[in-house]
């Protein structure tokens, strides 16, 4: 049970280090603060976070179902080895091209997708739109999060039934934790400029942290699930 | 000031700028940053007038005459605003570069 819970927590922490959700929320704040009163901006941010969290939880639940359907239980060591290799490849990808080169926090996304998200964030005026934007940001990050969600779902299936819901909630909360921190920081008086400056200053640290996280998770799966299994 | 255009598959469309549009844009960003608007208005007019005058005199060496894209305008405004307010300058420098 312990390795499985640790895998879920580690996967959630790695998910939290990814930057698209935070960047989109920052864009939403920047666009909204000038247009709406504070209460309205807070409501939009809350709905954004709920949308993001809900899609993450739904994705894990769906993946649990798919894994149970395909493998009649947790994945076998051969498949886990492939997943661990994919995690290693993602670690290299994060170090290499998660961020575009230059002194900004531009991500790997195609320009058209980034522009679309930008435009959506600027024109978000209702709670429904903010909720959808949260789901869109979560979905756009899928190339990097799908493996994490798969790993977490596999571990959740391996847990006793009494702990499965708790593990799902823990992963979801960990994945939206940075968004909550950002919301609190802005509520405390930080501006979007302060936060963006922080992101640019710590870009390399975040990149290294994400990559090390992916790598650690891959090694952990090989050690505790593949070799031990 | 020579402006470097990055090569992209789809070239950025040039935009038409006026004093009023530049002022409105800067004031909108200042409102977002919760800056005192009375102070911002004083230098916004100066900057807008300077940019339009330079554009008319073709002082910005754009590849095509009187042809200014949004990102070029952002970099010009970032440079002009750096003398008055670092935060506003930062906003223009990082426009479209958050994600």
CA–centroid distance for A219 within its chain: 20
Q: End-to-end alpha-carbon separation of chain A, Å?
A: 13
CB A46 within 8 A of CB A208: no
Whole-angstrom Cα distance, residue A45 to residue A189? Answer: 15
Residue of chain B whose Cα is closest to the Cα of A122: B96
pLDDT of B34 strictly over 70: yes
Going by the DSSP 8-state scheme, the letter that residue B87 receives in this structure is H
**Range A163-179 average pLDDT:** 97
pLDDT of B8 strictly over 60: no
Residue of chain B whose Cα is closest to the Cα of A21: B99
Residue of chain B whose Cα is closest to the Cα of A19: B99
CB contact under 8 A, A27 and B91: no
Opening angle at CA A138, ends A133 and A143, nearest 5:
135
Q: Which of A134, A193, A194, A197 is the best substitution to test chain B (most B C-beta atoms within 10 A)?
A: A193
CB atoms within 10 A of CB A133: 24
pLDDT at A43: 95
Which residues in chain A are contacts of B98 at CB distance < 8 A? 23, 26-27, 30, 105-106, 118, 196
CB contact under 8 A, A193 and B98: no
Model confidence band, residue A197 (pLDDT cutoffs 50, 70, 90): very high
**Range A128-152 average pLDDT:** 96
| Chain B residues contacting A via beta carbons under 8 Å | 8, 28-29, 31-34, 87, 90-91, 94, 96-99
CB contact under 8 A, B99 and A107: yes
B25 CB-side CA count, 13 A: 18
Residue pLDDT, tens place only, A9-64: 999 999 999 999 999 999 999 999 888 888 999 999 999 999 999 999 999 999 99
Kindly report the nearest CA distance between residue A96 and chain B, in angstroms: 16
Model confidence band, residue B3 (pLDDT cutoffs 50, 70, 90): low
Residue of chain A whose Cα is closest to the Cα of B9: A111
Q: Which of A178, A52, A205 is nearest to A117 (CA)?
A: A52
Whole-angstrom Cα distance, residue B30 to residue B40? Answer: 7
Residue pLDDT, tens place only, A204-217: 999 999 999 999 99
pTM for the structure as a whole: 0.91
Who among B31, B87, B96 is closest to A193 (CB)?
B87
What's chain A look like in SS3? CHHHHHHHHHHHHHHHHCCHHHHHHHHHHHHHHHHCCHHHHHHHHHHHHHHHHHHHHHHHHHHHHHHHHHHCCCCCHHHHHHHHHHHHHHHHHHHHHCECCCCCCCECCCHHHHHHHHHHHHCCCCHHHHHHHHHHHHHHCHHHHHHHHHHHHHHHHHCCHHHHHHHHHHHHHHHHHHHHHHHHHHHCCCCHHHHHHHHHHCHHHHHHHHHHHHHHHHHHHHHHHHHCC
Radius of gyration of chain A (CA): 18
CB contact under 8 A, B99 and A24: yes
Whole-angstrom Cα distance, residue A85 to residue A101? Answer: 26
């Amino acid at each position: 049970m312990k390795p499985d819970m640790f895998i879920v927590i580690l996967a959630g922490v790695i998910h939290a280090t990814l930057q698209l959700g935070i960047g989109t929320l920052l864009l939403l704040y920047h666009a909204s603060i000038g247009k709406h009163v504070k209460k309205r901006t807070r409501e939009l941010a809350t709905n954004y976070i709920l949308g993001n969290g809900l899609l993450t939880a739904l994705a894990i639940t769906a993946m649990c179902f798919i894994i149970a359907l395909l493998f009649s239980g947790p994945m076998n060591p051969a498949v886990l080895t492939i997943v661990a290799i994919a995690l290693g490849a993602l670690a290299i990808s994060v170090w290499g091209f998660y961020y575009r080169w230059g002194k900004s926090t531009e991500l790997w996304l195609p320009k058209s997708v980034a522009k679309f998200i930008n435009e959506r964030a600027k024109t978000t005026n209702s709670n429904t739109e903010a909720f959808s934007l949260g789901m869109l940001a979560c979905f756009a990050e899928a190339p990097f999060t799908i493996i994490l969600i798969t790993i977490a779902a596999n571990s959740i299936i391996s847990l006793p039934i009494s702990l499965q819901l708790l593990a799902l909630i823990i992963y979801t909360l960990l994945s939206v934790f940075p968004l909550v921190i950002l919301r609190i920081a802005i509520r405390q008086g930080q501006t979007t400029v302060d936060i963006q400056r922080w992101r640019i200053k710590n870009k390399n640290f975040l990149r290294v942290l994400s990559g090390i996280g992916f790598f650690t998770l891959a090694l952990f799966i090989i050690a505790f699930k593949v070799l031990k299994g | 000031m020579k402006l470097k255009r990055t090569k992209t598959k789809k070239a950025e469309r040039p935009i038409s700028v006026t004093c009023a549009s530049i002022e409105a844009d800067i004031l909108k960003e200042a409102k977002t940053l919760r800056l005192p608007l009375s102070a911002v208005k004083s230098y916004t007019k100066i900057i807008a007038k300077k940019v339009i005058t330079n554009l008319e005199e073709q002082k910005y060496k754009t590849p095509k005459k009187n042809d200014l894209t949004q990102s070029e305008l952002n970099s010009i405004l970032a440079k002009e605003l750096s003398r008055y307010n670092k935060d506003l300058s930062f906003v223009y420098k990082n426009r479209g570069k958050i994600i």
